[in-house]
Amino acid sequence: MWLYLAALVGLYYLLRWYRERQVVSNLRDKYVFITGCDSGFGNLLARQLDLRGLRVLAACLTEKGAEQLRDQTSDRLETVILDVTKTESISAATQWVKERVGDRGLWGLVNNAGIFHPLCCTEWLKIESYVDVFKVNLIGLIEVTLSMLPLVRKAQGRIVNVSSILGRVAFFGGVYCSSKYGVEAFSDILRRELQHFGVKISVIEPGYFRTGMSDLQSSLGRIKQAWEEVPTHIKEAYGQKFFDAHYNGVKQGLLRCSTNLNLVTDCMEHALISLHPRTRYSAGWDSQFFFIPLSYLPTSLADYILTRSWPKPAQAV
């Protein structure tokens, strides 16, 4: 019996491997619009797809980032300045894309732009931090998608939304996790609503990677600043020892972040060019072999595994 079961499982993965190797035709005629291309995943993906021969439309937040990207790529790649928190900027970028794709429509939309708040406890953050993160990670993603959607629908193309493994398992960073849970929900709804239009939606769920968003010195500096600005009664509740332990824990975690960003951009590329893209891509060994299995455990057991090494606050009961 076990032999038959193993054979069926093997056959399933063999068939999936074969289906996923099939690539869409005429890649050189397809346009892909990517947000957040100044650095990190977006920058690498833009260069990767450019080498592949696709027509990349790269959105950067700054002119400096756009200029550096153009210097590293072919003449096919074009850049535009985009702030996903501003409606007028999104509208202008959409018109810019429309002028380039014409009647062909937009084959791929990659919502990659994102920010991270200080890596600290939820109670230490000001409400402004919550608003800023949601504006970029969720509201901005939704507005860009809705603005570009008619162009994607015309091409019967792809939408690739960059979430996080923290959109599956809320481990730390309450507002960031919340924004990424929103991305997961929005993507699921969009996938079901657009299935009859031939549009495919994929979600990328990276684990821990070293990008500008997880820069060691910047991240540690923001934690210190957040702690310094916390009201006295909150500092007394947690205590300096708790902060020191939390600070060192974050530092060690950031040092262990993977530097192989291709693990993420390869998933993005597959979602754009495969004839049969996956609904979700778990990028990184920590994502695939720790967090995904953890997400299927009973909540009480997952809570124990995730928090057993956490320090105790000064006023813990």
Q: Is the dihedral of CA 36, 217, 245, 288 positive or negative?
A: positive
Calculate the alpha carbon distances from 19 to 56, 160, 205, 270 in Å: 25, 19, 21, 12
Tokens representing residue 68 in the block: 């550096």
- Annotated catalytic residue within 18, 130, 176, 181: 176
Of the candidates 190, 90, 191, the residue with the CA atom closest to the CA atom of residue 148: 90
How far, rounded to the nearest angstrom, does the alpha carbon of residue 59 sit from its chain's CA centroid? 15
Calculate the alpha carbon distances from 60 to 78, 178, 276 in Å: 11, 25, 29
Which letter does DSSP use for residue 307 in this model? H
176 as an active site residue: the answer is yes
How far, rounded to the nearest angstrom, does the alpha carbon of residue 259 sit from its chain's CA centroid? 16
Cα 56 from Cα 74, distance rounded (Å)? 10
Q: Which residues are catalytic?
A: 176
